[in-house]
Amino acid sequence: MDIPASPWNQRHLIGKDEVMALSFEEAFEAEFAPLHRYLRRRVGESTADDLAAQTFATAYAGWERFDPSRPLRPWLYGIAANLLRHHWRSERRMLRAYARTGVDPVVTDDGETVERLDADAQHRLLAAALAELRPHDREILLLHAWAELSDTEIGAALSLPTGTVKSRLHRTRERLRNHLDRHGQVAARPSSSPAEDPR
Amino acid sequence: MTDSPLQILSDFRAGVAEPGEETARRIYTLVTAPATRNRRELERRWYTRRPRLVLIVVVAALLAVPTAVAFGGKIVDLFQGTPAPAEISTTFTGFNRMFDKLADFSTRQGFAMTMPHAEVSKAHGVIEIETADGPQDLWAAPSDQGGNCYFIDFANDPPTPTGKLGIGGCDPSPPPASNINWGQVWFRPHPDLVTVWGSVFVDAATVHVALEGGSTLALPVVERLFLGSLARGEKVVRVTAFDAAGDEVAEWTKPR
């Protein structure tokens, strides 16, 4: 993206050696699209615009103080997770609506002409299961499955010990499996899908 | 059905698209907008929903004052009034388009922002300084909200299809309480230099940029604009404007 430089578009390592690390512009270029898409999957496009803007505004404001030795993605997704808390209820409402009607508000919420995703039974059941998860558990699960953060990164994003993330993720996956299994939607043995690969 | 829960989850809403270039540009512009009235309007809107966020944004904006010691930049003569070449006019035109989109976006979001527009046909050179990386130019065009829209680039950087790489904007309306609006930035192709520039909203002939190490950089004010080049290192602590008689007419001091 060709964008002008900006007054606070820089970041320093403050220490013995000052090093110009990733600029805000570079961070934005690298992380904006995947973060926006993740948020859009969670809460729809218009809210995703707002949350992505607020996430990067917060990051921009804190850029000078951010320790460049820390990984960027967990920090950004942690900010986004804090902002998403205010949308947990609407997220659940949208999941329930999709489960009930087969029309996903996330892909139709802006009146945009978007080819609607297949409203198959699997996804409607999944939406129902996601809606019933505890919000914190849903957060961890979706950071893992959609944002593709590792357990360690999720821990850093949510300020949780990695062990806690692992156990909650395991429990949530089991809960999801049980929910889908009751409706005959999953195989009996675990899959080796990429999302389950250990990182 | 034979998929695992995580496979089903991975597929769920997988067709949701990434944001387009325009969305990215619009949000980048919003996020990095200087502390002008428009930015404050954006923050006010957020404030009603996220009280703590605004505090973070404002504090950081005050703290985000950076590096410098310098070599100031020697002023090059015979530049003021030079008509802007095509690539600079294109850049100002791009500003106007971006501002239009921003205004449109703000209206759709429920808070209308009044955005400035540059009179592109009147774009001209104001200050050219000699830096370690060659000449650096400040171009200006009148803003329809009063004051200037400006653009700063390195003369020897090649133009891109959308204009030159640089920093630009328009004077805030109303002016800040200090009557000095300044900023500093580095350009990726020139990582050892920090550009300092600004506007003075009263009649002034020079500004003195005081650095944390105790040195001061004196810069002329031309059409109420100034431009200087610093090396990375120390921090700007004060910017003071003087009129032709040498009397202080405005001052910005680093907040404590």
pLDDT tens, position by position, A151-165: 999 999 999 999 999
On average, the pLDDT of chain B sits at: 76
CB atoms A187 and B9 under 8 Å: no
Q: Is B188 on the interface with A (CB under 8 A)?
A: yes
**A18 contacts in chain B (CB < 8 Å):** 67, 232
Q: Is A175 on the interface with B (CB under 8 A)?
A: no
**A185 contacts in chain B (CB < 8 Å):** 1, 3, 8
CB atoms A9 and B28 under 8 Å: no
- pLDDT of residue B21 exceeding 50, the answer is yes
Question: Is the model more confident about B37 or about A90?
Answer: A90
Q: What's the confidence (pLDDT) of residue A27? A: 83
Question: Is the model more confident about B236 or about A69?
Answer: B236
Residue type present at position B202: V
Tokens for A58? 């917060």
pTM of the full predicted structure? Answer: 0.49
Nearest to B8 among A34, A122, A194 (CB): A122
Contacts of B18 (CB under 8 A, 6+ apart): A33, A34, A36, A37
Q: What's the confidence (pLDDT) of residue B47? A: 39
Q: What's the confidence (pLDDT) of residue B74? A: 57
Most confident of the ranges A110-124, A169-183, B155-169: A169-183
Structure-token match 């049980």, residue found: A178
Q: Where are the beta strands (DSSP E) in chain B?
A: 74-76, 124-131, 134-142, 148-154, 167-170, 180-187, 190-200, 206-211, 216-220, 225-231, 236-242, 248-253
CB B229 within 8 A of CB B196: yes
Q: Model confidence at A17, in pLDDT bands (50, 70, 90)?
A: very low
CB A23 within 8 A of CB A15: no
**B57 contacts in chain A (CB < 8 Å):** 57-58, 61
Q: What's the confidence (pLDDT) of residue B24? A: 85
On average, the pLDDT of chain A sits at: 75
Question: Is the model more confident about A38 or about B16?
Answer: A38
Question: What distance in Å separates the CA atoms of residue B63 and residue A108, rounded to the nearest whole number?
Answer: 42
Mean pLDDT of B58-83: 45
Mean pLDDT of B9-34: 82
In three-state secondary structure terms, A155 is helix
Tokens for A63? 């850029």
- pLDDT of residue B201 exceeding 90, the answer is yes
Q: How far is A183 from chain B (nearest CA, A)?
A: 10
Mean pLDDT of A26-55: 90
Mean pLDDT of B128-134: 89
Instruction: List, in sequence order, every residue forming a beta bridge with B127; answer none if it has no partner.
Output: B138
ipTM over 0.90: no
Q: Model confidence at A120, in pLDDT bands (50, 70, 90)?
A: low
With CA atoms as reference, report the closest residue to B29 among A12, A57, A125.
Answer: A57
Instruction: List, in sequence order, every residue forming a beta bridge with B79; answer none if it has no partner.
Output: none
Question: What distance in Å separates the CA atoms of residue A62 and residue A5, rounded to the nearest whole number?
Answer: 17
With CA atoms as reference, report the closest residue to B30 among B120, B98, B119.
Answer: B98
Question: Is the model more confident about B71 or about A56?
Answer: A56
